[in-house]
Every structure is written in C-alpha cells, then in structure tokens.
Structure 1
Amino acid sequence: MSDHLLVERHGAIATVVLNKPASHNAISIDMYRDLPGLVAGLDADPGVKVVVLRGAGQKSFASGADISEFERERGNAEAARNYNEHVAAAERAIEGLSKPTIAMVHGYCIGGGAGLALACDIRYADERARFAITPAKLGLVYSLESTKRVVDLAGPSRATWILVSGQQIQARRAFELGLFDELYPVEELEPATYEFAELITTRAQFSVRMGKEMVRRIVAGQLADDEATTHIRNSSFDTDDYAEGVRSFLAKRPPSFQWS
C-alpha cells in the first residue's frame, strides 16, 4: 500500500489519512490505485462502523491530483484513460462502502480532493475551507459520475457554474450550496467530526447501513418500494437490535445494540 495512505483506528471508527502534507495532500496515482483495496478491507472488518476520510494536518484535505505526475501518467490518451479508471475506481469504492463515511475537510478541497470528498456520505469542514472543481483550468473534462455527485448536491445550474468557472468557493458559500454539511472553527472541526462518528457507532447498525442503502437507491433513481426494499424494511423486525431497541425504550435506558 502507498506510504501516503494511513489508517488509524479508534474503537469502531477508522480514519483514512491522505498523508502528503508537503504537497497539501495531493493525490498520487499510487494513492488512487490503493484506495479501493484499503476501503474494501475496512468494509469487511466487523469492528469498523464508521470511516472518516481526512488529509494530514490542518492546511488541506487534498489540493487535487498530483499534477507533477501528469506528464508521465497522463501523457497520452491511453495513459490518461488508465489514470481516469483508477480515479473512478477510488471514488466508487468510497461511495460504495456499506458503512457511513465522513469527509473531514480542513483547508483546501480542490479537484481530485473534491472528488473524494463528494464520494463520502457527509462532509464536515472548517470555516476557512476552500472548495473547487478545476478541469476547466486544465483542459480536462469531469466524469459523468463525478458531475452527478455535484448536481445531486448543488443542483444543475450551480453545478454548471462550479464546473465552468473552476473558481475556489469559500466555506460558507460551499455550505450554502450543499457541498459541505457542517462548518466549524478550525480547532473545533476534529472533535465535532469524531463526536458525530461516535454517535453513529451507538446506533443500530442494521438501521444505519440500510438507511444508507435506501438513500443510495433513491439517488440512483428508484422512487417506489420494490421486493428488495420491502424485504430490507421487514427484515429489521427480525433483528436482535430491534428487540433491544423496544426493550430499552420501555425501560427508559440507553440501548445496547450488538449487531455489527
């Protein structure tokens, strides 16, 4: 695995760190290549309930793809296609996690960094964060999948503005556009993010993951229940956590959910 990807564990919370602070955590091809396997391992680990994605330090989540590699890794059409496949696979891996994902955004969240953050379920950012999607400044075209994530959050006209301008958007405006979900002062971002992540670990995990699955289906265009979604909902009544939830409510005590 790339030396520039770190995994930290605190109880049921796993943190994936983009670890290239000298270059504002610019994402190398090796990092993109290794992210799917790393993420799959966390998804398969029953001890992990939430995944946080962050950059090293407080200056940057990620300043984008590592442009110093472009001439070597994207020097012709064939190489560029291969590169783009690794980027897409990394974003899909994060988006496809069965467990909730939170992007903790300090500072710059630019280009490829924005792509990874948008693939997460939730984005917590500090008040000095900057968001930008920059293909128009490099002569590139954003993928359909990545563009859809922007449209889903900001709407079509604002997504168009973001894409055609390539401008950096200040944190408050990015929050207003729906690109960030919560804003905090720089020093409060980390404790607030992990406080929320810890809260998720105390909830019934079948409910958490199936709730995420329902949202995923709606975003993908499903508008009515089918056999699969009806089965998911009805299955919750057969879980030990449902029984525990009812018992704890009646006893007026906090629940102790065991499913993972």
Structure 2
Amino acid sequence: MEKNDLFVKKEAGVATLFINRPEKKNAFHYDMWRAFPRLLHEIENDTEVQALVIRGVDDSVFIAGADVGEFQTVRATEEGEAEYNRAVEEAEAALMKFSKPSIAAIQRHCIGGGCIIALAADMRFSAHNGLFGITPAKLGIIYMYSSTKNLADIVGPSRAKDLLFSGRIVGAQEAYQIGLVDHLYADEEIIEKTYEYAKMLTKRSQRTVKGAKQAIDEWSRGYREPSGALKQMIDSSYSSEDYKEGVRAFLEKRSPNFTEN
C-alpha cells in the first residue's frame, strides 16, 4: 500500500482517519482493507483520543467503493477471493468493536465498500451532496452477512431489501429520511459540524460513553441480559470519579471536568 493512502491525525482529543486516494475516488484496494484494523488498533490504544472521525482527505469524495480494477487479479482464485473477503470482514469488525465513538463524515460518494465502512461506524454525518449505494446486484456478488445485518439494523429489513435488490443510488435527503444518515448538513458545513460534535463528545464522561456503546452493541447482537463485563461497568459507575465529579458539577452549576478514559 502507498504509505499515505490511509493516515491519521490527532487534534484536541479527536483522531481523524483520512482516506487519501482522491484520484481513484478513495476506492479501497486490498492493502487498504488490510491496514485499516491496524490503524484503528493504534487509535484505540492512544489515551489522548476520545473520538474518531473517518473522512476523505478533501471534499471530493468519501469512499466510492472497493477498487474493482484489482478484482481480476487479487480475487481471481478461490483462495484470493477468500483472503480478500477476510480482509474486508476484519476491517469492518475492527470498526464495529472500536470502543470509542466513531463518526463517518460523508461527502459525495459513499458506495459499496464505502457503505461497509460508514455502516460500521457509530454515526453517519452527511453533506447534502452525499450519494449512497450498495451495488453487489450490479456485480453479481452477495453482500457480506455482517454488512447486510448492519444495514437492516439501521434502516429496517424492507428498506435494506430495496437498496440491496436494486443497487440504486440514493441522495443524502432520502438517506436521512430512512435513517441511513444521522445528521445532514450543508456541503460547506459538514466538516466543521462533524468536528464540533466530536469535540463535544470528548467533554462527556468517557466511562458513560463506553458503557452506552457496549450496551447498545450487546442489544444489537441479541443479548437478553447485559454481559458480566457490562454489568460490572454499570455497577462501578456509581462509585467512579466521573460520577462524583458529575454530581459536584451539577450542584455547583458548572460544566463537569471528567478525567477518566
């Protein structure tokens, strides 16, 4: 992989994972899928980071899909196909398991593999120029089970079927209406508003954020009861330093200064 096809920058508690292949509309090639989990692991272990933004390096595109141009080489055999799919699945799983809040900031194309990344993030913020499509029906392949589940969980089974059966491209307004997009902003405001939100999250209790994220993730995986780890997180929160600071700040009518990571 070209060393800068994916790169990370940090500022004020927010890490940004940039997709830097605008000449190919940020299409993901095999080595980018392979590198994605490693970069997330590094951000996960960085105690100075409380939130993640994923975006294109400029305002031209988010991710226009996988790099179909390499399919006839890297996916030419059954072994190559399996290895490629494994790399995509591992990238998706790494983002879904990422413990810090993640936001996909979407400008223009978010197609195919771009939707895999966006759907695995916690939230999707889009500019009005956003375009969304999941297009395996135009390639003769079947979308990964995990990605299909993510889509159906977010937009519902019927709308997921519509998008998958047709492979049609939907605009940002429709994506927002069906729940595929969480926040919709003017083209010139999307980046500013995304970072404004991400920086706000760094001021919240990270204990609360992580607990809420794990609770929702467990619910989406079909847990009937909280796991032991989640139960311990909930119980211990009431004796935590963040809780004490939150109560003090409320009584003193000031903003809390949370210190736990």
Task: Name the TM-score, length of structure 2 as normaliser.
Answer: 0.97
Partner of 2:52: 51
Matches within 5 A, 1:1-260: 2-225=3-226, 227-260=228-261
Q: Work out whether residues 54 and 105 of structure 2, in 8 Å CA contact, stay in contact via their aligned partners in 1.
A: yes
- Higher alpha-carbon deviation: 231-240 or 114-123: 231-240
Q: Give, in angstroms, the shift of residue 141 of structure 1.
A: 0.7
Instruction: Indicate the SS of the match to 2:189.
Output: helix
Q: Give, in angstroms, the shift of residue 61 of structure 1.
A: 0.5
Instruction: Indicate the SS of the match to 1:54.
Output: strand
Instruction: Determine the C-alpha separation between the residues in 2 that align with 1:38 and 1:145.
Output: 21
Percentage of pairs with the same residue: 40
Instruction: Determine the C-alpha separation between the residues in 2 that align with 1:197 and 1:229.
Output: 24
Instruction: Determine the C-alpha separation between the residues in 1 that align with 2:64 and 2:98.
Output: 23
Instruction: Determine the C-alpha separation between the residues in 1 that align with 2:226 and 2:83.
Output: 38
Q: Give, in angstroms, the shift of residue 226 of structure 1.
A: 5.2
Instruction: Indicate the SS of the match to 2:8.
Output: strand
Instruction: Indicate the SS of the match to 1:39.
Output: helix
Instruction: Indicate the SS of the match to 2:55.
Output: strand
Instruction: Determine the C-alpha separation between the residues in 2 that align with 1:44 and 1:228.
Output: 19
Instruction: Determine the C-alpha separation between the residues in 1 that align with 2:154 and 2:52.
Output: 21
Q: Work out whether residues 211 and 230 of structure 2, in 8 Å CA contact, stay in contact via their aligned partners in 1.
A: no
Name stretches of at least 5 consecutive residues in structure 1 with no aligned partner: none
Instruction: Determine the C-alpha separation between the residues in 1 that align with 2:227 and 2:165.
Output: 38
Deviation per residue, 1:170-221 (Å, 9 max, x gap): 1111111111101001110011100100110000110011110000000001
Q: Work out whether residues 215 and 226 of structure 2, in 8 Å CA contact, stay in contact via their aligned partners in 1.
A: no
Instruction: Determine the C-alpha separation between the residues in 2 that align with 1:55 and 1:137.
Output: 25
Instruction: Determine the C-alpha separation between the residues in 2 that align with 1:93 and 1:228.
Output: 19
Q: Work out whether residues 105 and 126 of structure 2, in 8 Å CA contact, stay in contact via their aligned partners in 1.
A: yes
Instruction: Indicate the SS of the match to 1:174.
Output: helix
Instruction: Indicate the SS of the match to 1:75.
Output: coil
CA RMSD of aligned residues (A): 1.1
Instruction: Determine the C-alpha separation between the residues in 2 that align with 1:113 and 1:210.
Output: 27
Q: Give, in angstroms, the shift of residue 155 of structure 1.
A: 0.8
Task: Name the TM-score, length of structure 1 as normaliser.
Answer: 0.98
